[in-house]
Amino acid sequence: MTTTSKARIGLIGLGTMGANLSLNIAEKGFPIAVFNRTTATTDNFIEAAGELKSQLTACKTLQELVDVIEPPRSIILMVPAGQTVDDQIAALRPLLDDDDMIIDAGNANFHDTDRRAAQAVSDGVPFLGIGVSGGEEGARHGPSIMGGGPKPAWNRVSDVLEAISAKYQGTPCATWMGEGGAGHFVKAVHNGIEYADMQMIAEVYGIMRDGMNMEAAAIGEVFSDWNTRTLQSYLVEISGKVAAATDPKTNSPMLDMILDRAGQKGTGRWTVIEAQHLAAPIPVIEAAVAARNMSSQLTNRIEGQEIFGPAPQKLADGAISIPELETALIGGKILCYAQGFELIVAASREFGWALPLPEIARVWREGCIIRSTMLNDMASALADNPDRNLMFAPFFSDHLKNSQAALRKVVTVATANGLPAPSLAAGLSYFDVMRTARSTANMIQAQRDFFGAHGFERIDGGSDHHGPWGSGAA
């Protein structure tokens, strides 16, 4: 140990996120004690901490960590999600007093957080599960924080979490979302949206690269230009930057040297699985997760191209314009977020949370990966009426009225030329279904009644009717 003064908070797990979060906490003036299983990692971390060293206490054992924190203690876990979290809690809990609090700040599955929270309640000890978004930079200089657990437990550390969080025009992007796994659930939806946002950007990139024959640098300029108005967002900004980068080894555009096989840790998949459990339609996000999965099937894709030949892909000159692509992406983005927020509403109802929709949009305005200007408009629309699908809020319905023609054109032209645009297409289908008062589900109901006597409602009133299938059916 290197200090005698008590630490306000502790942190276990000095991987990139944990190390950066610790420095952020130290920088905001909170003395922090840190522990990592491998002591060399702790030593290196302290060595590199520069002038923040005075705020940091390096501990070689869990007991040392516990001893140096001011009671009642709060200890953040920044260890890999899953079994490691359970193991860490099992090792730490016996060393703690009953009013000491463990805070899991990793990317936990919210069902795990619910289970750990229930265990903590039955043990009579405080526990928080908080979603932290923003990658390495965010952790160091201001992430977006989505808290879950007992409100009094949140209140004990909210000063620290608000201080280290990103600020949107001075407002901290750190909010308590609800009990149990609420914070990690909101983080999972964030990640589902993240997947879809990234996928739709990749789709318009593909249309520019393969359909319009544009070089990476020119595509980068397009993204940078889009980033100056409606689509302003971290993901569009970095897409512009990555498209502009050059590979030092070959001097080719860096993007062209990257294998087209996307990784994933699984949080987007959790969002989709949960949406299915809740019967909440999120087709844009589902398509994005499926697209990531298909991207990993590189060998199959190569075989597919050998058997079927490449799709035509090249578009006729002027078939789609850059402004049309921009407008289509705006439409797709609105539809994607509308679905994400609808999923949050469904979960809130199912799990007995009161997830604060406008607050969720607000904490996503800065710090997190999906931060964007549009989220501020979403926060306003949701504050006006949190019970209405975002696509029907006047601000966004106006946007959709203006963008639907471009979205339709981009999806149909891309599809006609074999340029895959699954998330944009899923957005368009969602839009068309959601603006069709008379759907085709009467056929589904008739079929269900025919083969299973499931009954149907009649348009002229009454439920549990059955069709004259025996007599009239061909």
Which residue ranges make up the site for ligand 6PG (CB under 6 A)?
107, 133-135, 191, 194, 263-265, 267-268, 368-369
Q: Which is nearer to ligand 6PG, 262 or 434 (CB)?
A: 262
Taking Cα atoms as reference points, which of 153, 157, 124, 138 lies closest to residue 11? 157
257 phi, psi to nearest 5 deg: -95, 0
Q: Are strands 101-104 and 127-133 parallel, antiparallel or unpaired?
A: parallel
Closest-by-Cβ residue to ligand 6PG is 133
Q: Which is nearer to ligand 6PG, 189 or 212 (CB)?
A: 189
Shortest approach of ligand 6PG to residue 373 CB, angstroms? 18
Among residues 187, 203, 286, 324, the one annotated as catalytic is 187
Find tokens 């490691």 and name the residue: 84
Shortest approach of ligand 6PG to residue 78 CB, angstroms? 12
Q: Which is nearer to ligand 6PG, 134 or 172 (CB)?
A: 134
Q: Residue 149: how many CB atoms within 10 A of its CB?
A: 30
- Extract the tokens encoding 106: 């990793």
Question: Do 33 and 13 form a contact (C-beta atoms < 8 A)?
Answer: no
Shortest approach of ligand 6PG to residue 265 CB, angstroms? 4
Q: Which is nearer to ligand 6PG, 183 or 331 (CB)?
A: 183
Taking Cα atoms as reference points, which of 188, 196, 185, 179 lies closest to residue 347? 185
Q: Which is nearer to ligand 6PG, 280 or 288 (CB)?
A: 288
Active site residue 194: yes
Alpha-carbon gap, residue 388 to 367, rounded angstroms: 26
220 phi, psi to nearest 5 deg: -60, -40
Find tokens 């190569």 and name the residue: 302
Shortest approach of ligand 6PG to residue 266 CB, angstroms? 6
- Extract the tokens encoding 74: 């709060």
Shortest approach of ligand 6PG to residue 139 CB, angstroms? 8
Contacts of 255 (CB under 8 A, 6+ apart): 216, 242, 243, 245
Among residues 28, 70, 194, 350, the one annotated as catalytic is 194
- Extract the tokens encoding 18: 């944990």
Active-site amino acid positions: 187, 194
